[in-house]
């Protein structure tokens, strides 16, 4: 509920600047109430406050400098840091400078942050950067301060071809929240009906990502997805995830045993 609760976006729908704090705090309070009701010892719940781009996620017509981005996002991030939120995720970020500003603003108030980039059908950010360029640029500018990276708001088939297992920047990606549709953002903007794609095929594409992203452990859905997509992800990904996890544990144990010998 906080993705569009930053000053510019709230002004667009008639809120005053002083309402930014109230709306963000109430949103986190709502999540805390849900956690209190449903969290168990075996199922801990992390409260993740989302922030979004200052401009249009699909079309970055205006860009901020790193300093401008940090100053803009510091308002909302500062408010969230004073709540019971455990972390922040910046969703659908489309150019590195804004991501760097967000990471710096989060670091200044000591709250963990995830940076999620949006990519198009060509596997690049809307501003033209490759995922490799974007992740490496942010890490170099922030001393690797984001706890990890995510890709969201695009179908997995649009970027799976650019992922090269074993490269350092790829290992920084821990999460994917894909769109149900394979359409480009331009096509989706013109669509008059929701394209929910094929949930089974969507899940299989996510399963394939497990073999390319060794640290992938948060998988979900973005635009056009619903409970059908999440259910299919669970059906096809959970066993593969657990098998790969167990295999890695055995590999680590084997290396440890060899070292001790």
> Computed over its alpha carbons, how large is the radius of gyration of the chain?
19
Average pLDDT, the chain: 94
Q: What is the pLDDT of residues 51-92, one digit of tens each?
A: 999 999 998 888 999 999 999 999 999 999 999 999 999 999
Q: Is residue 108 within 8 Å of residue 40, measured between CB atoms?
A: no
pLDDT at 159: 95
Q: Where are the domains of the chain?
A: 7-260
Q: What is the pLDDT of residues 242-256, one digit of tens each?
A: 888 888 777 777 767
Give the CA dihedral 160, 133, 143, 61, nearest 10 degrees. -100
Percent helix, strand, coil in the chain, to 5, is 50, 15, 35
pLDDT at 209: 96
What sign for the dihedral angle of Cα 248, 150, 187, 227? positive
Task: Choose among 2, 86, 106: nearest CA to 46.
Answer: 86
Please provide residue 54's backbone torsions phi and psi, each rounded to the nearest 5 degrees: -70, -35
According to CATH, what is the number of the domain 7-260?
3.20.20.330
Q: What is the pLDDT of residues 203-227, one digit of tens each?
A: 999 999 999 999 999 999 999 999 9
């Amino acid at each position: 509920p906080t993705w569009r609760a930053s000053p510019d976006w709230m002004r667009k729908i008639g809120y005053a600047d002083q309402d930014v704090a109230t709306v963000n705090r109430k949103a986190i309070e709502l999540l805390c109430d849900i956690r209190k009701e449903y969290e168990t010892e075996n199922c801990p719940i992390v409260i993740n406050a989302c922030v979004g781009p200052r401009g249009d996620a699909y079309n970055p017509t205006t860009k901020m400098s790193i300093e401008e981005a940090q100053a803009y996002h510091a308002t909302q991030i500062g408010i969230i840091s004073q709540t019971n939120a455990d972390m922040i995720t910046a969703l659908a970020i489309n150019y590195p400078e804004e991501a760097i500003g967000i990471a710096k603003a989060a670091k200044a108030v000591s709250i963990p942050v995830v940076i999620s980039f949006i990519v198009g059908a060509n596997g690049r950010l809307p501003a033209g950067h490759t995922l490799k360029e974007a992740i490496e640029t942010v890490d170099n500018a922030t001393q690797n301060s984001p706890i990890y990276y995510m890709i969201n708001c695009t179908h997995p088939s649009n970027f799976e071809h650019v992922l090269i297992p074993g490269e350092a920047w790829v290992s920084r990606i821990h999460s994917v929240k894909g769109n149900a549709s394979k359409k480009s953002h331009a096509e989706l903007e013109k669509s008059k009906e929701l394209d929910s794609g094929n949930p089974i095929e969507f899940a299989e594409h996510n399963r394939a990502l497990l073999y390319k992203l060794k640290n992938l452990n948060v998988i979900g859905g973005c635009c056009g997805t619903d409970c059908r997509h999440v259910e299919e992800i669970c059906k096809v990904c959970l066993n593969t995830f657990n098998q790969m996890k167990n295999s890695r544990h055995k590999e680590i144990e084997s290396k440890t045993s060899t070292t001790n010998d």
